[in-house]
Amino acid sequence: MIATTLVQTDEASHAEGQHSDLPRGLRLVLSAAGAITSQALVVTAMLYYFGQVYTRTWFAHFGIDVGMLGYSIPDYVVRSVNGAYWPALLALLAAVALAGLRPIPILVAARTRRPRQTLRRWFVSVVTLGASLLAAVAAGIVLRAFLPAAMSRYLPLMLISGAALLGYAIALRMWYPVQLGPRRHRRRDRSTDLPWVTLLALLAIGVLGTMWSVGGYAADQADQDARTAELTHFADRPLVLLFSVDRLAIEGGASRVDPITVPDEKFRYVYSGLTLLSRTPDRYFLIPYDWKAKRDRVFIIGTSDNIRIDIARHP
């Protein structure tokens, strides 16, 4: 009985071992797919945020709540290019430059009489600077009500730099464990002893700093683009002729209304001097082409059989 049980147990263990290879391979595939999916979700969420900030700020210049436009997530992701393209390009160029400069500390240390001491001084300097930047940001957040508005542009950059420097310090400990490790563990390979909690915290800080910094840049860029569009009389947007059965309350700026006296014509009024600011499936957002902030209004026209919209290229 005991022998039979042992044989059955051994066979069960052997069968489990045979089938464990497939689940392990499947787990690896699922793990890779999960990592890619999670990164894609994070990137999409950040692009959505940047696009939403840019779009909300741009339309706020005209007094329009972006919720009235009914934009979807893909719409905001596409619009994020206006506010996130240049920061993303600068970040990639900086990453390439830093990757190329990576060997410099060890090369400089190797040319000195005490390379280990030189490298440790570099390590301490990096940690001190990174920690000081994070401490300064923490103080700035607490005292943000008393700081000038310009600091809102510098604090997120300081936050990103501080997190990057501390991450770089951890990388130095990985790359040069003998030189930077404690003397009693000089011969011990500590490259696998990663402080995962600290790394995850620094990564989260970097992501939040990026959203803070790029979000602020997107808002500033949107406000500048809206003002430029106003000054150039919306040269990149089409002009509109609005035909209506009934007289509408459209006036101000360069807009004008003319009656249509042609017999048997359905539409009795035509409005000109307008440009198309935006549209939804059921509404048109029209403004005079010489629209001025705090002077003119935005006209919201619902689609119906009583109006007709003709679009012409801006001269």
Within the chain, how many helices (H) and strands (E) appear? 8, 6
76 lies in a domain? no
The residues with which 307 forms a beta bridge, in sequence order, are 244
Dist. CA 63–CA 68, nearest whole Å:
11
The SS3 of residue 189 is: coil
72 lies in a domain? no
> Comparing C-alpha atoms, which of 54, 52, 64, 57 is closest to residue 284?
64
Average model confidence (pLDDT) across the chain? 85
Task: Assess whether 123 and 168 both reside in one domain.
Answer: yes
The answer to whether residues 82 and 222 touch, using CB atoms and an 8 Å cutoff, is yes
pLDDT band at 75 (very low <50, low <70, confident <90, very high): very high
5 lies in a domain? no
pLDDT band at 25 (very low <50, low <70, confident <90, very high): low
Task: Assess whether 120 and 180 both reside in one domain.
Answer: yes
Tell me which residue range forms the domain holding 155.
81-231
Task: Assess whether 220 and 252 both reside in one domain.
Answer: no
Task: Assess whether 197 and 116 both reside in one domain.
Answer: yes
The answer to whether residues 307 and 301 touch, using CB atoms and an 8 Å cutoff, is yes
Task: Assess whether 180 and 215 both reside in one domain.
Answer: yes
49 lies in a domain? no
Look at residues 183, 215, 231 and tell me which one is the last residue of a structural domain: 231
Look at residues 231, 252, 275 and tell me which one is the last residue of a structural domain: 231
The answer to whether residues 269 and 259 touch, using CB atoms and an 8 Å cutoff, is yes
Lowest mean pLDDT among 38-47, 127-136, 262-271: 38-47
**What are 309's two structure tokens?**
């919209």
31 lies in a domain? no
63 lies in a domain? no
**What are 287's two structure tokens?**
């403004």
Which DSSP symbol is given to 309? E
The pLDDT, as a whole number, for residue 144 is 86
219 lies in a domain? yes
Mean pLDDT over residues 211-215, rounded? Answer: 95
113 lies in a domain? yes
pLDDT band at 7 (very low <50, low <70, confident <90, very high): very low
The answer to whether residues 270 and 248 touch, using CB atoms and an 8 Å cutoff, is no
pLDDT band at 12 (very low <50, low <70, confident <90, very high): very low
Higher pLDDT: 107 or 289? It is 289
Task: Assess whether 192 and 296 both reside in one domain.
Answer: no
Structural domains in the chain (count): 2
Task: Assess whether 157 and 201 both reside in one domain.
Answer: yes
Interval 92-139: pLDDT, tens: 999 899 888 888 888 888 888 888 888 889 999 999 999 999 999 999
pLDDT band at 221 (very low <50, low <70, confident <90, very high): very high
The pLDDT, as a whole number, for residue 106 is 82
Do the strands 299-302 and 256-259 form a parallel or antiparallel pair, or are they unpaired? unpaired
Contacts of 155 (CB under 8 A, 6+ apart): 137, 140, 141, 144, 212
Mean pLDDT over residues 220-224, rounded? Answer: 95
The pLDDT, as a whole number, for residue 55 is 96
Task: Assess whether 161 and 251 both reside in one domain.
Answer: no
Interval 13-24: pLDDT, tens: 444 444 444 466
Integer-rounded Cα radius of gyration of the chain: 31
